[in-house]
Amino acid sequence: MPSNPPTATTTTVVDNSSNDDQHSAIYPVLDFNKTPLPEYNGHYCKIIDDLFSPSECADLLALAESHTPWSQAAVHYGLGPTQNYVNLEYRNSERILLFDFDAASRIYNKLLPHITEVIELSSGIPYSKEIVGGSQLKGFKYKLIGLNERLSYLKYGPGNYFRSHCDGRLELPDLRRSFITIQIYLGDDIDLQGGATRFSSNRSNNSESYIDVDPKLGRVLIFQQRSLTHSGEEVTKGIKYTLRSDLMFTRELVS
């Protein structure tokens, strides 16, 4: 990969485990206090390596490509099919949107044993306040119910990127809500350079500290949507493929 800017403080997150039984390995939540971004202490982020095998990644990618061709990724400002626009200065990549309940269910079932800490979000439960926001926890709790069937496949070639942003939270007409993003890295391009998912400071006086998560085949990156600034760094060589979706919750009154 290209060398980092000499003034930057950077941490590249590497493999979490070499356990032979990788699917039963314990993957801890990232401790931001031990990174260049301690301001995110208490925020939720987890990296699971090798959760999806190379063949599973290939099957997920083939599923999308068999349905529709790649098109320019848009920036969304609502749920409607026309509530989006293309802004290449901000987001430059290709995308396939696939709505598939069965695929979402299969992905969710593989994830679930590794995300038990977010099965319920409520007052007093770790990470809940940062994930949901304190005001939305007053009198309510949120139960994890599945993965959004809206699967967003992204393809980044040389010169493609997604500038710094926080992911938007959804509230669907059926009252399901999103609080957490999941991103599966699907590409097996050995020539890939660049393309890390970069977490960076949201403070204007701290633009040189960041954490890079490299797009390793089969790796899953899971992180809260609220107040966690990140970007898709520019690909300089090769092709990067990812699948992005949301963990969905229902809201219940606290008895």
Q: What is the pLDDT of residue 149?
A: 98
- For CA atoms 128, 129, 133, 138, the dihedral sign is positive
Do the Cβ atoms of 235 and 185 come closer than 8 Å? no
Cα–Cα distance, 93 to 157 (Å, whole number):
7
Provide the pLDDT confidence category of residue 248 given band limits of 50, 70 and 90: very high
Contact of 249 with 121, CB cutoff 8 Å? yes
**What was the pLDDT predicted at 108?**
99
Dihedral sign (CA 237, 218, 108, 169): negative
Helices (H), 79-163: 101-111, 128-132
User: What pLDDT sits at residue 81?
Assistant: 52
Q: What is the mean pLDDT of residues 125-129?
A: 97
Model confidence at 179, pLDDT cuts 50, 70, 90, reads: very high
Cβ contact 133:226 at 8 Å: yes
* pLDDT at site 255: 82
**How far is 2 from 35, CA to CA, in rounded Å?**
21
The phi, psi pair for 220, rounded to 5°, reads -120, 130
Lowest pLDDT segment from 19-23, 36-40, 72-76: 19-23
Classify residue 236 as exposed, middle or buried by CB count within 10 Å of its CB (0-12, 13-18, 19+). Answer: middle
pLDDT value of residue 92: 84
Answer whether residue 69 shows pLDDT above 90: yes
- pLDDT value, residue 202: 85
pTM across the whole model:
0.87
Tell me the three state secondary structure of residue 49.
coil
DSSP type of residue 34? G
Whole-angstrom distance, CA of residue 242 vs CA of residue 151: 10
Taking the CB of residue 104, how many other CB atoms lie within 10 A of it? 20
> How far is residue 37's CA from residue 34's CA, in Å, rounded to a whole number?
8
Contact 135, 179 (CB under 8 A): no
The pLDDT tens digits of the residues spanning 191-231 come to 999 999 999 998 766 668 999 999 999 999 999 999 999 99
Query: Mean pLDDT across the stretch 163-184?
Result: 95
Mean pLDDT taken over the chain: 88
Tell me the domains of the chain and their CATH numbers.
Answer: 32-74+92-253 (2.60.120.620)
pLDDT tier, 58 (very low <50, low <70, confident <90, very high otherwise): very high
pLDDT of residue 13: 55
Locate tokens 């070639």: which residue?
157
Burial of 66 (0-12, 13-18, 19+ CB in 10 A): exposed
The predicted pLDDT at position 146 comes to 98
Q: What is the mean pLDDT of residues 117-145?
A: 96
**How far is 131 from 121, CA to CA, in rounded Å?**
8
CB burial of 186-196 (b: ≥16 within 10 Å; e: otherwise) equals bbeeeebebbb
